[in-house]
Structure 1
């Protein structure tokens, strides 16, 4: 019999964290973070990492397991989450994944098959030399020619993913997109997807307010600490909430412009999250408003009880 996993998904700032704790308390669950950046120590404010008080005694996994200088891939996430699903289930608890990193959650719950092609150090070194000598734009343009679908998913400054995509193509003749098209839509689990959505204008206002709150809580100081420790070019500082501060810290951009870009990028990210979850997963969506969030949560808990009984 397949193990049941509850997944709480949706855009940033919509209320997933609070709902996950409510569900864990009601259905004897434990929570796994579905945020690819919350794995990093020291990235607390900018990732809206849950506090000990907010956990309300519910065990949480996939938080603070990496140092900022370490890389962390979708495959790493898949392996660890599948391990924790087994561990939580063995305790007689219900695994609950809560977060907005769609590809990561999909990879874990649908046993996404990654390219097993071993890294070819020779090819990697050649690509790294081209990157250093010619710049990221040249390699990115190359990827756009051979695998435009994959290029659309990778930021030109994400050198690790850029090189990996080209390395797979050059060593196998098969693009990363071709690997991804061969994925199964069958899950080794029985996943129940609960999605929170909100009126777009209301959500965007909520995101803007959340950025202001993060700044009040010390987001600038958090980003500055990471920058001063030399993490500018590491994966940890490429996420929204951190990368926007780099030009400011270098004296190349005014603070007001930094905040504007941070809010804009956060809103755009929320839009991409909506698109991903609506296109990729069979989600039970619930519209939420701040005034009626408790009522919506009660409805979700009631519906979930029925879903779990029917398994």
Structure 2
């Protein structure tokens, strides 16, 4: 019985996936406040220190006391590869599991997640971990509208000054945190700002930069969505799709209510079943073994009586 139990006791890990702006961070925190869990960031830009507005990092207050790993930890000019992520994420996962908690990996960089899950040689992830994949999905037209509004909010929150703080005329936009959408798009405007062009022209350049940020973010969301579909349809990942479109169509106080009813409730059920399915299998096996042993004893007693 002990060997049977050990067979089913792989370490558990939860993945919260989805395009940018779908609420992945919020959902992962909602899950982590209901189950003993810690969060590992898998967004290839949010791993870097700085640009909290541009990268839309979850704030300390929003984390609700949940421990986060690989969030704002890497030096801004470093190259953080998929291999680096796999190594650092596995270290964090082992630490979390040894602490008696469940790792929740959340982020939009599906290339990082695929590199981790599909590695069968170096890390042997599937051999050691049992995975629960949750895909938070929003229809493209609704999501693109929401993303555009979010960019406006980021601008109001200080995006321009934040990017200005790391601006350099010889900047390499293919390296480190400067790859983030919102940084290269501001280049022409910030160069004009240095030259002190007239305000009308600068305003035009700023408006064009903001529109480019919106367009590039929407393109990113579409690519992320297609990548998840490929993981589900071609690689046959068992992904639970949660359609949050109706939540994003709400406004005001109705948003939070819809979020709890249409997203959180179903996800907590999925996670609860996932975390306890081994216990159910072992319990069923135990009942079967007990029943078989009882039948054997009854048969032996019958033979003795005869």
The TM-score normalised by the length of structure 2 is 0.74
Task: Find the counterpart in structure 2 of residue 257 from structure 1.
Answer: 208
- 1:260-290 deviations in Å (ceiling 9; x for gaps): 1100000010000001111114211010123
2:146 to 206, 224, 232: 206
CA-CA distance at 1:193 after TM superposition: 0.4
| CA distance in structure 2 between the partners assigned to 1:184 and 1:278 by the alignment | 23
Larger Rg: 2
Matched, 1:303 2:303: no
Kept in 2: contact 1:241–1:262 (CA 8 A): yes
Return 5+ residue gaps in structure 1 as ranges: 115-182
Task: Find the counterpart in structure 2 of residue 59 from structure 1.
Answer: 67
Kept in 1: contact 2:186–2:209 (CA 8 A): yes
| CA distance in structure 1 between the partners assigned to 2:121 and 2:76 by the alignment | 26
Alignment of 1:108-147 (within 5 A): 108-111=116-119
| CA distance in structure 2 between the partners assigned to 1:113 and 1:260 by the alignment | 44
Secondary structure of 1:278's counterpart equals helix
Task: Find the counterpart in structure 2 of residue 143 from structure 1.
Answer: none
Kept in 2: contact 1:70–1:235 (CA 8 A): yes
Kept in 1: contact 2:169–2:191 (CA 8 A): no
| CA distance in structure 2 between the partners assigned to 1:5 and 1:103 by the alignment | 17
Closer, same or farther: CA 36–187 of 1 in aligned 2, 3 Å: farther
2:177 to 232, 236, 239: 236
- 1:207-238 deviations in Å (ceiling 9; x for gaps): 00110011111111111111149654432112
Kept in 2: contact 1:31–1:59 (CA 8 A): yes
CA-CA distance at 1:56 after TM superposition: 0.3
Secondary structure of 1:80's counterpart equals helix
| CA distance in structure 2 between the partners assigned to 1:98 and 1:236 by the alignment | 19
Task: Find the counterpart in structure 2 of residue 76 from structure 1.
Answer: 84
The TM-score normalised by the length of structure 1 is 0.73
Kept in 1: contact 2:15–2:132 (CA 8 A): yes
Q: Number of matched residues?
A: 243
